[in-house]
Amino acid sequence: MNQILAVFGSMNIENKTVLVTGSTDGVGRLVARRLADQGARVLIHGRDRTRGERLLKEIRAAHRGSAAFLPADFSSLAEVRRLADTVRQTCDRLDILINNAGIGSGGAAGKRETSQDGLELRFAVNYLAGFLLTRAVLPLLMLGKPARIVNVSSLGQHPIDFDDVMLTRGYSGSRAYAQSKLAQIMFTFDLARELEPETVTANCLHPATYMATTMVRQSGVTPISTVEEGAEAILNLAVADELDGCSGQFYNGLRPSKPNPQAYDDTARERLRVLSLRLTGLA
């Protein structure tokens, strides 16, 4: 983290509250650890209690920042709501939200799976869970102004077919993954349009290509990037001074980039927003 601070310049995050989803493993774990090393109060999220408690002990042993572990399975919208309730009950504000939790394509043999709510699993976990969580904790983020939302997406993007969002016909794991990642970007752009950048900014990124993570290995792909590269890119959006007031951007690593054209389609974003509010019970 010190290297990152030296390169970019960073806001002072000592005693700031940061929620990092999917932070018991992979790049999320490294991001959470580095934020804690700079004195932040980090809310660790994951499904695996053993891994969560292990990271909690490491952070506490370093005597820098503080941490709490908040378990939740993002295949259940009820658990996402419960997580948001816990955050609201235990925090008086939220300064940074990093939506990092996700699952991969399932590899070449990936089969269509559904969430506990009967929704296509990758759309539910990679996109809808973050949509619901962000909406639920937005009042806390507004209290933490200037606050930041960082959505960890991907260069792998596929336009959404609104006639078959749940991919009941001709299912492909890679398409399901890519569709969920484009949905994240569309949501980010909507948030940026909705929120005053002086209060809350919303940006998204492809952190690095095929990082050495469990997700990548389970997909049957040989890693070509490190989690350190990915963490650097995520932390850039989360804490770099130069991004104060910057909102509605998609980054490829450390560079501004352009996502799939559907992300700029106002009609498509509106259709996604209406569908998401209905599926999460927020409508």
Domains by residue range for the chain, with CATH? 2-279 (3.40.50.720)
Q: Which helix (H) or strand (E) holds 202?
A: strand 200-206
Give the separation between CA 266 and CA 59, rounded to whole angstroms. Answer: 43
CB 11 within 8 A of CB 242: no
Question: Is the C-alpha dihedral spanning 157, 253, 216, 2 positive or negative?
Answer: negative
pTM above 0.85, yes or no: yes
Question: Which residue is catalytic, options 177, 210, 251, 264?
Answer: 177
Half-sphere exposure of 252 (CA within 13 A, CB side): 9
Give the separation between CA 14 and CA 158, rounded to whole angstroms. Answer: 39
Kindly report, residue by residue over 171-216, the tens digit of the pLDDT.
999 999 999 999 999 999 999 999 999 999 999 999 988 776 666 5
Secondary structure (H, E, C), 121-178: HHHHHHHHHHHHHHHHHHHHHHHCCCEEEEEECCCCCCCCCCCCCCCCCCCCHHHHHH
177 catalytically annotated: yes
CA distances from 198 to 46, 238, 262 (A): 30, 15, 27
pLDDT value, residue 18: 98
CB 135 within 8 A of CB 280: yes
Which residues of the chain are under the pLDDT cut of 70?
A: 1-9, 107-109, 212-224
Give the separation between CA 178 and CA 235, rounded to whole angstroms. Answer: 23
The two tokens of residue 199 are 């209060």
